[in-house]
Structure 1
Amino acid sequence: MERFAPESSRVAEVTRIAPRETEFVRDLRGPNRFLVARSAFTSDTVLEAEKERVFSACWIYVGHESEIPEPGDFVAREVAGRPVLFTRNREGRCRVLLNSCSHRGAEVCRKRRGNQRRFRCFYHSWSFSNDGELVSMPDEDGFPEGFRKQDHGLATPHAVDSYRGFVFATFNPAQEPLLDYLAEARFYLDLTADQAPEAGMAVTPGTHEYSMRSNWKLLAENSSDGYHAIPVHKTYLDVQRSKGDQIAGSTEKDWKQSHAFDLGNGHTVTVKQAPWGRPIARWKPSMGESTRDTVERSYRKLELAHGPERAELIANLDFNMLIFPNLVINNIMAVIIRTFYPTAPGHMNVSAWSLAPSDEPPDARRVRNESFLSFLGPAGLATPDDNEALESCQRGYAARRGEGWNDVSRGMDKADPPNWDELQMRTFWRRWDELMGGKA
């Protein structure tokens, strides 16, 4: 496992990170403790500051290039609370445009997806190209002297960039380049993209959209938290055991070679070899004997493309990664892309997609979809459990009206904490506190 561990992971946090005590975070030494103020989950003032200091400052995930394969393709969605058009222009370049007319502000597109050369605002019929240029409007001569269409294109983020098909945007003119921002997270994006050595990875049709009555940072924590898996997801594990998988129901026995890593810039990952099957190349009895050949053929394909060592890593390394602040890629029994954004301190909207090899044959896709929906789908055997746990936390904060502190101290004195410790949460909170202006 050392071959993909960041250098910083070899030294315990309490040695390499200075203590600090701010309004929301207490990163203490002697004794070692890490506490987060519960007011960070309940305050309207905190949320308003997050919109500017976190979501408007960082690179934010927009979509995957596979969602708009042809010139003229577009998807309309909200990205960090902003309505945007994720589209591909005539030259085939991905663009991100704000879905708000430069005239009076109405949406220029009210469809969720499609293919078109122009976006026309229904209010006054201003029309824009899929590059965002204003190309026509009624009664152009009625505007005063000096009016120029080229000055009234659709607004765009400060920058748009992509890595291995994952497209990001930032509204921060001071933001570092995307490659630098992603830091060590690129290694895990590479592992994800390399599952499809020939045709590339693609988002499968359909989007999961749902909401939760909890603070968005609780989902950021939960997405890579191994400590809750055994008690909260007992039903899923029991079902897999009943189908023949070797599941002990113990963190130490079920999560082999378990680690948690700080990837830089607030990004975190937990890695392990889990007891469930993975449709990309790890067959388990719960998947059914009829699927064994399909999964084993997938593994042989990885070996031919990448060699035995990397094929083993792609096939058998389970990881849960958070790219700060709100992109989750869980590469476990299937691959999920998940984003979330707060609408209130105690409410968020969640969007999720399944990612798969674009040339995956129908029998392999069926195995993947069953694996995906059984755990990761919003009506599966696990995601509803997570949702209830987070909503229960939010309800519990009312007991002291947002006062008190959460303890996030597990494993902070270890050089190599496993995924059921909490290095990953502390990594998130240190970056969050820095952006929010926390001063020791």
Structure 2
Amino acid sequence: MADFPRIIDDRAASRFLVPREAFTSEATFEREYAAIFDRCWLYLGHASELAEPGSFLTRKVARRPILFTRDKAGEYHALFNACPHRGALVCRERKGAARAFMCMYHGWTFGSDGHLMSLPGSSGYPDGFKTDPQKQMVHVPRMERFGDFFFISFAADGEDLATYLAEAGDYLRLVSEHSASGMQIVGGTQEYAIRGNWKLLAENSFDGYHAACNHSTYLEYLKNANGALGATPLSGIAHDLGNGHAMVEYTAPWGRPIAHWVPLWGEEGKAEIAAIHAALEARVGSERAERIAHRNRNMVIFPNLVMNDIMAVTVRTFYPTAPGYMEINAWALAPREESEWLRKYRLYNFTEFLGPGGFATPDDVEAIEKCQQGYASGGDGLVNDISKGMNREDGALFDDEEQMRCFWREWDRRLAAVEA
């Protein structure tokens, strides 16, 4: 038998169970890094974050410090942010512009592509030392670009990024099509931590079942804010996008800067939204424009990339540092050409609902942490039930749990492959 907790996926009996040990076991946590985070494609950043040649940013991805650069020729590089000499961080800044990076420990200096440019006391080293491949900064084994989204993999082999993304790739394109001139990351980064297992946030990110109860305060707030809600009902379906990726797509009564008007925006706003919608139709066709403007999407790209295309567009990643602890980063994505008042509304929504101090995220954090605390009650064989909608013949609804089952099947498959 496998020495990690296996899901119970009994389709005939409409029974889907996940052992709670999967959220608490240290051995399972380490196996997840070997089977998932060391093998899957992981989100690194957006092209707009390195808008000019010479720009850079640093980021931690799956416990590893990464230096993401754009060299003077405009080429992008993903480097392990560690000096080949003694291992110190080469770049200690969060982001900026630089033609070279000098390690603070001994002064070794590297170009944006990681090559060793100079080192103090070079006469003490043999000929050819500076060009030795082992003396250069190490590139992440694989980096690929899908539109303006960059992903990396720590595995030297495996499927290409487009194959890995499967049908999720079309929804990344859909987000990009919000803009005629390109999308951009706006402002800074939301950073926070949750005392809970990372898979709980994966579940929560596209769980339509919890909204009415867990986010009741936000829904009441919108009802009492004059004109903040339109007449569109809340309804939708779940999509299996392949390879563990899944999504809920639904209509909702709140406004969307692209391009769903609500009375709060007034007649002037209505005219601008109508113009945006007309331009969208001309560019992508009426059917796709309708989906972009009037449908919301909460998507999880396995294992840990969330795209919330709702009242604002949020890009979110989360990485575990222990079975019961994770670190989260989130960014707002918006059209470059967006007007000042729409941008203001978008960012207000981003912080009001999705931010760590907004209406939704504190609710979600509390629920996740209470789940993790509940697992400490112990008891052999305790399981979570994720079977809602499993017996629905005409397809899962947005408040069913098929999207979570997609995630868990891929999780189980990958851990079983490592076990084998």
Quickly name the TM-score band, shorter chain normalised: over 0.9
The aligned counterpart of 2:370 is 392
Whether 2:285 is the aligned partner of 1:310: answer no
User: Equivalent residue of 1:320, what SS?
Assistant: strand
Whether 2:193 is the aligned partner of 1:226: answer no
**Deviation at 1:298?**
2.2
Q: Could you say if the C-alpha distance between residues 384 and 394 of structure 1 is closer, same or farther in structure 2, counting changes exceeding 3 Å?
A: same
The partner residue of 1:166 within 134, 142, 149 is 149
User: Equivalent residue of 2:156, what SS?
Assistant: coil
Whether 2:67 is the aligned partner of 1:85: answer yes
**Cα RMSD for the two superposed structures:** 2.1
Note the 1:266-345 alignment, pairs <5 A. Answer: 266-287=244-265, 291-345=269-323
More displaced 10-residue stretch of structure 1: 107-116 or 273-282: 273-282
8 A Cα contact 2:16 2:387, kept in partner: yes
Give the Cα separation in 2 of the matches to 1:355 and 1:341.
Answer: 20
Whether 2:404 is the aligned partner of 1:422: answer no
Give the Cα separation in 1 of the matches to 2:139 and 2:238.
Answer: 36
Note the 1:20-419 alignment, pairs <5 A. Answer: 23-144=5-126, 147-151=129-133, 152-197=135-180, 199-243=181-225, 244-245=227-228, 254-256=233-235, 258-287=236-265, 291-400=269-378, 404-415=382-393, 416-419=395-398
User: Equivalent residue of 2:36, what SS?
Assistant: helix
Q: Could you say if the C-alpha distance between residues 381 and 153 of structure 1 is closer, same or farther in structure 2, counting changes exceeding 3 Å?
A: same
- Cα deviation 1:143-194 (Å, max 9, x = unaligned): 2466343411111111111111010001112220111111000111111000
**Deviation at 1:207?**
0.6
Partner amino acid for 1:108? V
**Structure 2 length-normalised TM:** 0.94
**Deviation at 1:213?**
0.5
8 A Cα contact 2:116 2:130, kept in partner: no
**Deviation at 1:351?**
0.1
**Deviation at 1:290?**
5.6
Give the Cα separation in 2 of the matches to 1:268 and 1:161.
Answer: 21
**Deviation at 1:139?**
1.2
**Deviation at 1:24?**
2.3
Q: Could you say if the C-alpha distance between residues 37 and 208 of structure 1 is closer, same or farther in structure 2, counting changes exceeding 3 Å?
A: same
**Deviation at 1:288?**
5.5
More displaced 10-residue stretch of structure 1: 368-377 or 124-133: 368-377
Partner amino acid for 2:282? L
8 A Cα contact 1:280 1:295, kept in partner: yes
Q: Could you say if the C-alpha distance between residues 75 and 195 of structure 1 is closer, same or farther in structure 2, counting changes exceeding 3 Å?
A: same
Give the Cα separation in 2 of the matches to 1:433 and 1:284.
Answer: 43
8 A Cα contact 1:240 1:286, kept in partner: no
Q: Could you say if the C-alpha distance between residues 311 and 29 of structure 1 is closer, same or farther in structure 2, counting changes exceeding 3 Å?
A: closer
**Deviation at 1:247?**
7.8
- Cα deviation 1:43-69 (Å, max 9, x = unaligned): 111111111210010000000000001
The aligned counterpart of 1:435 is 414
8 A Cα contact 2:45 2:149, kept in partner: yes
**Deviation at 1:414?**
2.4
**Deviation at 1:71?**
0.6
- Cα deviation 1:26-82 (Å, max 9, x = unaligned): 112442211111111011111111112100100000000000010110111111211
User: Equivalent residue of 1:400, what SS?
Assistant: coil
Q: Could you say if the C-alpha distance between residues 290 and 392 of structure 1 is closer, same or farther in structure 2, counting changes exceeding 3 Å?
A: farther
8 A Cα contact 1:41 1:402, kept in partner: no
8 A Cα contact 1:241 1:247, kept in partner: no
Give the Cα separation in 1 of the matches to 2:114 and 2:3.
Answer: 46
Q: Could you say if the C-alpha distance between residues 45 and 392 of structure 1 is closer, same or farther in structure 2, counting changes exceeding 3 Å?
A: same
How many percent identity over aligned positions? 47
Give the Cα separation in 2 of the matches to 1:63 and 1:246.
Answer: 33
Q: Which runs of 5+ in 2 are unaligned?
A: none
Equivalenced residues, count: 415
Give the Cα separation in 1 of the matches to 2:130 and 2:335.
Answer: 46
8 A Cα contact 1:211 1:350, kept in partner: yes
Give the Cα separation in 2 of the matches to 1:318 and 1:351.
Answer: 21
Give the Cα separation in 1 of the matches to 2:55 and 2:155.
Answer: 27
8 A Cα contact 2:6 2:412, kept in partner: yes
Q: Could you say if the C-alpha distance between residues 237 and 21 of structure 1 is closer, same or farther in structure 2, counting changes exceeding 3 Å?
A: farther
User: Equivalent residue of 1:23, what SS?
Assistant: coil
Q: Could you say if the C-alpha distance between residues 368 and 245 of structure 1 is closer, same or farther in structure 2, counting changes exceeding 3 Å?
A: closer
- Cα deviation 1:300-327 (Å, max 9, x = unaligned): 2212322322211110111110011000
Partner amino acid for 1:429? W
Partner amino acid for 1:414? R
Q: Could you say if the C-alpha distance between residues 28 and 181 of structure 1 is closer, same or farther in structure 2, counting changes exceeding 3 Å?
A: same
User: Equivalent residue of 1:227, what SS?
Assistant: coil
**Deviation at 1:403?**
5.2
Give the Cα separation in 2 of the matches to 1:239 and 1:289.
Answer: 23
**Structure 1 length-normalised TM:** 0.90
**Deviation at 1:402?**
7.8
The aligned counterpart of 1:5 is none
8 A Cα contact 1:134 1:150, kept in partner: no
Give the Cα separation in 1 of the matches to 2:319 and 2:380.
Answer: 20
8 A Cα contact 1:266 1:324, kept in partner: yes
Give the Cα separation in 2 of the matches to 1:203 and 1:246.
Answer: 27
Q: Could you say if the C-alpha distance between residues 229 and 35 of structure 1 is closer, same or farther in structure 2, counting changes exceeding 3 Å?
A: same
